[in-house]
Amino acid sequence: MVSNAPARLTVLSGPSGVGKGTVVAEVRRRHPDVWVSVSATTRRPRPGEVDGVHYHFVEPAEFDRLIATDGLLEWAEYAGNRYGTPMAPVRERLAAGSPALLEIELQGARQVRARAPEAQLVFLAPPSWAELVSRLAGRGSEPAAVQEARLAIAQAELDAAGEFDVVVVNDDVARAADELVGLLTAPSPGLVPGE
Annotated binding site: 14-21
Spacing of C-alpha 36 from chain mean position: 9
Give the angle subtended at the CA of 99 by the CAs of 97 and 100, to the nearest 5°.
125
Binding residues for ATP: 14-21
Could you count the other beta carbons within 10 Å of the beta carbon of residue 114? 9
* Contact present, 161 and 123 (Cβ < 8 Å): yes
Could you count the other beta carbons within 10 Å of the beta carbon of residue 195? 5
| Gap between the Cα atoms of 71 and 33, Å rounded | 25
Longest dimension (CA), the chain: 56
Give whole-number Cα distances, 7 to 2, 73, 185, 192, in Å: 11, 17, 8, 13
Instruction: Report which secondary-structure segment, H or E, holds 102.
Output: strand 100-103
Q: What does the DSSP assignment read for 46-78?
A: PTT--BTTTBEE--HHHHHHHHHTT-EEEEEEE
